Amino acid sequence: MEFSATQHDSGVVVVRVEGQLIVGNRQELKTLVEDAIEEGQRRFLIDFENTGYIDSSGLGALVSISKKIRDQGGTLRLANLNEDLHSLFELTKLDTLFAIDDSTDQALTQF
């Protein structure tokens, strides 16, 4: 499974990206988050601990998700980006758009 969602005790929905986030599967991630928003969820954490690489379509999907959550008054945080993945956010200046934490534990204290 490439994407899985669990609800932390705090109520935050933790979405894990296993493998790649690319043009071929980005819609699955968008649908997963949109369905959760539809169900009333407003706080999301995306965990990249087990992610290989992200392409520009994957970054675009994250931008789209971010906007949808924000439009509903919700919060999105990203965590566990390794050095390579973080470099993609820095290059594209998306590190200025997203709240990025070193770990899920750290992120969960920020909601």
Partner 1 sequence: MTAPLKLCVRRSEVAAPSGHVVDVSVVLPSEIQHIEAAVELMARHCFAGHPSTSRLRFRLQVTLSEALANAIICGNGQDPSKHVTIQAQCRSDAIELSVADEGTGFSPDQITAPMTGAEIESQCGRGLFLIRHLADHVAFNEEGNAICITLRRP
Q: Where on the chain is the footprint of partner 1 (CB under 8 A)?
A: 20, 22-24, 52-57, 59-61, 63-64, 66-67, 84, 88, 91-94, 96-97
Least CB distance to partner 1 at residue 15 (A): 18
Least CB distance to partner 1 at residue 41 (A): 21
Position 74: which residue type? G
> Which residue, 52 or 74, is less far from partner 1 as judged by CB?
52
> Which residue, 7 or 56, is less far from partner 1 as judged by CB?
56
Position 28: which residue type? E
What residues form DSSP beta bridges with 83? none
Least CB distance to partner 1 at residue 9 (A): 32
Contacts of 37 (CB under 8 A, 6+ apart): 68, 69, 72, 74
- The Cα 56–Cα 22 span in angstroms is 7
> Which residue, 12 or 21, is less far from partner 1 as judged by CB?
21
> Which residue, 31 or 92, is less far from partner 1 as judged by CB?
92
Contacts of 30 (CB under 8 A, 6+ apart): 61, 64, 65
